[in-house]
Chains A and B, each alone.
Chain A
Amino acid sequence: MIIQMQGGRYPYLRSHERQLRLIAHVYATGANLFEGQRILDKYSSKAIEPELKSDVDADVERFQKLVTGEIENTQGLVQFLEEGGDIGMVLLPQETTWGFSTNLPDLLRRKMDIMKRHLQETNEVMNRWFDSAY
């Protein structure tokens, strides 16, 4: 148990600055996931239109940029969680469907590792139907 004294006349300001920062990270993740999945959906159907061929290079670049951006956002979130202070989120003794636990930074690192590992597949995945013999 760490007991820390704190100074300052308005401690809520410090706490709230962090609360806002957490929410900014969460929404940034949301934005990246929405846009990333939008791109993936274009190339995940067998009924893919040949016209999309003209989009694919730009979409590959866009997707890779989104993944890179989400890795940066996640790194920022890990740093935020580990620098001490109000994290603006309830943590549970163990993970459940409704909440995270103290291993959240580890989970975020794992997520980043997987994203980095698979990023190079983007070009292949998005071109697979155009390259298919079917």
Chain B
Amino acid sequence: MGFRMATVAFSFLLAASIGIRLLAAAGNEVRAAGDQNLEITGGWQIRIPPSCHKAVARAAMDLQAFLRDRHRLELKIVEGNGGRGIVLAVNSQQGEGRFSLRAIPVKDQILVEGPNPLAVYQGVLLLEDYLAEQPSVSSSFKRSVVFPFKDRYLIWNALLTGQNKGAIGFDLERHVREAVRLGYTGMECNRFVGMTLSQQGHPRDPYPWYTYWGPSMDQFVTSPLFEGVFPKDYLARNLADLKHVVQVVKSYGLKPIFMGYEPRYVPETFLQRHPDLRGPRVDHPLRSMTPRYSLCTDQPEVLGHYRTLARQLAEEVPDLAEMHVIFYDSGAGFCWGKGLYSGRNGPAYCQNVPMGERMRKFFMSIRQGFLDAGRDIVLVAQPHGGTRGEFDEFFSSVPKEVEFTAGSWASWSLTYEDPLGIDRHVISRQRETGRRTLYYQEHFFGFDVAPTTEFPVPYYLADRLHRALELKLDALNTLGGMVSPPIKERSAMQEVYRRFLLDRATSSDEIVKQVAQDLGGLEGGNLLMAAWKDIHAAIGKNGRNIGFALGLEYASRRTLVRPLVPDPSALLPGERDWWQAYTFGGDLRFGHAHLFRGEGGPLSQDWYRGNYEQSMRTSEVFQHASAALGTFLHDHPDAGGQVPLLAVA
């Protein structure tokens, strides 16, 4: 059998329902008694500034298509702001993160105004919500929006650049538009092209799979030291793709960001030719079939290499706005670092180099490379592991031109309570040292959820966002990424995020209620809320643990397709190879015959009983919620419609 893709454009149906709710929720919309309607007619035009930014032009075309498809109105796009129409205006006098929508009845105009092209586009997408039901607003219509957090970035974006890149149906432009609609200001752009790992070595070695995300600079450009290490056509392909993604992201008004793991391991053949440059072992010794080493960044030659890579990258892709460097985990790490999976290790000669000094030299080499190219790309260090002591050394030694993101294991998961004490400590050090306050959290997808496209825990999400708000951050990064049409036309979780940005003073309960009613109407919305509350309670009873069975685990350990048999070790190759080949660590001792035995060794009977109980509880609550919705849809055939994405051929 096979699947065929079915593209479904049902955004307008959703927009219609959401528009009504947004109208009701618009706290600063003025509606005076006796207001007249300001109706958009075919005689109106969409007015844009002369020679405007591509994002404003895209916003105008978006609005044009919306009015055509939704209301059968054909509005021309013209330059200049005189005459009847919807006027899109960039006004730098408006504060950052602010945009406004306003009816000007004496001119027969609706003005969408923002301080930059992105804000104008975000204003247009909000206006589309207001116009979803009818092409008119009240004559006193006025809405002003100030987003919380100066910046909101999509980092470690599983669907665009991470473990689910290249997904069937993925549409880059719709993905970026969705990021604009949700309120983001920047997104990660770098990925390597294709699905084959460059440093696979043993075909069943699972460790290179950790390089599937966050490809390093050396996957795009090279230096004299690295000449010939990676094939030229491989680098050229990746670089061409990066340039393309950056241009698309920029054309929507978003900041293009490079997020890479550095210093990441390099091919062993290179280190054999340059044994003096061998740095620490950076793989996970229980997850890798062979030791893997990064370069020793205490060697001037290596620092020169990174400076050259940074210069080359900045010259080749000058529109990059920021680079976020993850310096531990997934095959990366510094000599003698405390966050290395193998424990502190490295060459003897650099053992006594202070970590702060090591990090200063490394990050400043990258920064100097940007400056060599005449580009002042913002450089941000991002920890995935490490210790408070090392972080303090960073803040004490590295100039504030290199920023640092807060975030920890708790913020990687959708449901765990964050921030932790270490996160608050890092944020306080960011402030003390005059840096931006950046913090990352998983919000929807990636890590413990992908490839599932939505795991509905909206109450946890709304509370998490409110906690982030209390931190008074400059930037809140979404770690893990988001889904987008046509793979997922709408995600309630993402709507919660958007509504929070639009109405952050609203309580979590009210945000979820409004989203539920946007997406399901009054009756259907109540059902959604009931379902989500039950799911929330079940996950709470499970210790906020989403569980082994979901997300990466059911894919990477092949638990969904692996047969449950009395004697797994006796399976014949023909019964085993087809799933084991794709099982993470399939040929390692804990991935072969045994389903669950991991790095901790044999498991207790109580461990199994606890996980069984949690899985049953979760399965039942989802099954019950699905059945309730199914009954509702059966009884209300006009409510749900058909949403075919994949249909059997």
> What residues of chain A lie closer than 8 Å to B13, measured between beta carbons?
6, 8-11
In chain A, residues 30-64, which have Cβ atoms closer than 8 Å to a Cβ of chain B? 30-38, 40-42, 63
Query: How far is B449's CA from A99's CA once the two chains are assembled, in angstroms?
Result: 12
> Nearest Cβ distance between residue B210 and chain A, in whole angstroms?
10
- Within the assembled complex, what's the spacing in Å between the Cα atoms of A23 and B3? 20
Interface residues of B in 558-573 (CB under 8 A from A): 559-568, 571
Please indicate the chain B residues that have their CB under 8 angstroms from the CB of A87 in the complex.
Answer: 645-646
From B521, B620, B642, A85 is in contact (CB under 8 Å) with: B642
A37 touches B608 (CB 8 A): yes
Do A6 and B641 have beta carbons less than 8 Å apart?
yes
If A20-B626, A125-B567 touch, whether A90 touches B159 (CB-CB below 8 Å) is: yes
Known: A30-B547, A30-B559, A34-B596. Is A8-B638 also a contact (CB below 8 A)?
yes
B454 CB within 8 Å of chain A: yes
Interface string of B609-625 (1 = CB under 8 A from A): 10110011011101101
- Contact A85 B567, beta carbon cutoff 8 Å: no
Contact B519 A12 (CB under 8 A): yes
A96 proximity list for chain B (CB < 8 A): 163, 195, 209, 212, 582
Does B89 interact with chain A (Cβ within 8 Å)?
Answer: no
Residues of B within 8 A of A10 (CB): 13, 17, 519-521, 524, 639-641
B272 to chain A, nearest CB (A): 28
CB distance from B419 to the nearest CB of A (A): 28
CA–CA, A27 and B622, complex, Å: 9
Residue on B with the closest CB to A28? B619
B77 at interface, CB cutoff 8 A: no
Q: Taking the nearest CB of chain A, how far is it from the CB of B639, in angstroms?
A: 5
The reply to whether A4 and B644 form a contact with Cβ atoms under 8 Å apart is yes
Known interface pairs A1-B7, A70-B564, A105-B1; A84-B644 also in contact (CB < 8 Å): yes
Residue of B nearest to A7 (CB): B641
Instruction: Find out whether the CB atom of B645 lies under 8 angstroms from the CB atom of A30.
Output: no
Selected contact of A29 from candidates B456, B549, B629, CB within 8 Å: B549
Q: A92-B166, A115-B564 are in contact. Are A6 and B554 (CB under 8 A)?
A: no
Q: Is B168 an interface residue (CB 8 A)?
A: yes
Residues of B close to A119: CB separation below 8 A: 565-566
Nearest chain A residue, comparing its CB with the CB of B566: A125
Known: A10-B519, A98-B209. A27 touches B6 (CB 8 A): no
Contact call A98/B563, Cβ cutoff below 8 A: no
Per the bound structure, the CA–CA distance linking A17 and B565 in Å amounts to: 31
Q: How many residues of B contact A (CB 8 A)?
A: 103
- Docked CA distance A67–B566 (Å): 9
> In the complex, what residue of chain B is closest to A2 when comparing beta carbons?
B6
Binds A, one of B220-228, B239-247, B468-476, B482-490: B482-490
Q: Does A97 contact B (CB under 8 A)?
A: yes
Say yes or no for B630: interface residue by CB 8 A criterion: yes
Task: Answer whether residue A75 sits at the interface, using C-beta atoms and an 8 A cutoff.
Answer: no
Contact check, B639 vs A13: say whether CB atoms are below 8 A apart: yes
Cβ 8 A contact of A38, one of B7, B562, B612:
B612
Q: Are B520 and A114 in contact (CB under 8 A)?
A: no
| A13 adjacent to B619 (CB under 8 Å) | no
Chain A residue with minimal CB distance to B453?
A: A88
A102 to chain B, nearest CB (A): 4
Q: Are B619 and A30 in contact (CB under 8 A)?
A: yes
Q: In the bound complex, what is the Cα–Cα distance between A38 and B16 (angstroms)? A: 50
A9 touches B164 (CB 8 A): no
The answer on a CB contact under 8 Å between A85 and B645 is yes
Neighbouring B residues of A95 by C-beta, 8 Å? 582
Which chain B positions have C-beta within 8 A of A33? Answer: 549, 559, 562, 564, 595-596
Which A residues touch B454, using CB under 8 A? Answer: 16, 19, 88
Are B642 and A31 in touch, CB under 8 angstroms? Answer: no
Question: Can you name the residue of chain B whose Cβ is closest to the Cβ of A98?
Answer: B163
In Å, the complex CA distance between A121 and B566 comes to 7
Query: Which B530-560 residues sit within 8 Å CB-CB of chain A?
Result: 531, 547-550, 552, 554-556, 559-560
- CB-CB < 8 A to A41: which residues of B? 602-603, 605, 608
Q: Given A12-B14, A24-B622 in contact, is the A67-B564 Cβ separation under 8 Å?
A: yes
Given the complex, which residues of A lie within 8 Å of B632, measured CB to CB? 13
Return chain B residues, CB-CB under 8 Å to A23. 452, 455, 550, 618, 622
Compute how far the CA of A125 lies from the CA of B644 in the bound complex, rounded to whole angstroms. Answer: 45
A14→B641 contact, CB < 8 A: yes
List the B residue with the shortest CB-CB distance to A108: B561
Q: Is B584 an interface residue (CB 8 A)?
A: yes
How close is A12's CB to chain B, nearest CB, in angstroms? 4
CB distance from A82 to the nearest CB of B (A): 5
- Of A21, A66, A96, A105, which is in contact with the most chain B CB atoms at under 10 Å from its CB? A96
> What are 8 inter-chain pairs, A to B, with CB distance below 8 A?
A9-B13, A10-B524, A12-B14, A17-B629, A27-B547, A41-B602, A84-B644, A98-B209
Known: A13-B639, A14-B641, A104-B561. 13 other contacts (CB 8 A): A1-B4, A6-B643, A8-B642, A9-B521, A12-B519, A12-B520, A35-B608, A37-B596, A63-B566, A86-B646, A91-B451, A92-B168, A98-B555
Q: Which A-B residue pairs are the 6 nearest by beta carbons?
A: A8-B641, A30-B549, A38-B608, A14-B640, A98-B163, A27-B619
